[in-house]
Amino acid sequence: MKKQGFTLIELMVVIVIMGILAAVAVPKLFGMIAKSKASEIGPAAGEYVKLQDAFVSESGTTVGNWTKIGYTMANSASFEYDQGGLSAGTTALEGLNATSGWVATAIAKLNDCKAKATWTINVKENKSGAGAGGPVLYKAAYSDSTNCSPLTPNFERLTSTGW
């Protein structure tokens, strides 16, 4: 007699193995999707810092809003961008203290990072002047650092030494 097909045990073993793989792979997949969506934060914030530094170097006494420094960042499918407290043309550098100059707000939940979580770049005057890289200091901050920082681990590196 010729035996054809699979036994019930063999089929059940395959289904169990597929279930285990799915239980491991699906959460990992969603984690990678959230991380890829959040990957736009670092370059966008880094570009803002570079343009602001260039503007301050040229003007010497003021920091500028996005229009003045030539920064353009359109909202994306994942984030809304805002220029925070520096929305008026230019702001005097002297006395500038922890003003938000760049804000990204998550439109939807990204893994454990809540919807409406924010990534912020704060700017302030470098009163010491020496050793910190220029007349402006930057500090990267999260509204939900526990859950959002794993998505953008390089974002915190934008913080100036001496803040």
pLDDT band at 113; cut points 50, 70, 90 = very high
Q: What pLDDT was estimated at residue 133?
A: 62
State pTM to two decimals.
Answer: 0.81
Q: pLDDT-derived band of residue 70, with 50, 70 and 90 as boundaries?
A: very high
CA distance 58 to 70: 13
Q: What is the pLDDT of residue 93?
A: 86
Say yes or no to pLDDT of 134 above 80: no
* Residue (of 119, 135, 60, 120) closest to 90 by Cα position: 60
**Angstrom distance (rounded) from CA 146 to CA 35:** 15
- In this prediction, residue 64 carries a pLDDT of 92
Determine the Cα angle at 50 with ends 108 and 146, to 5°. 35
Residue 129 pLDDT greater than 70, yes or no: no
Structure confidence at residue 2 as a pLDDT band (50, 70, 90):
confident
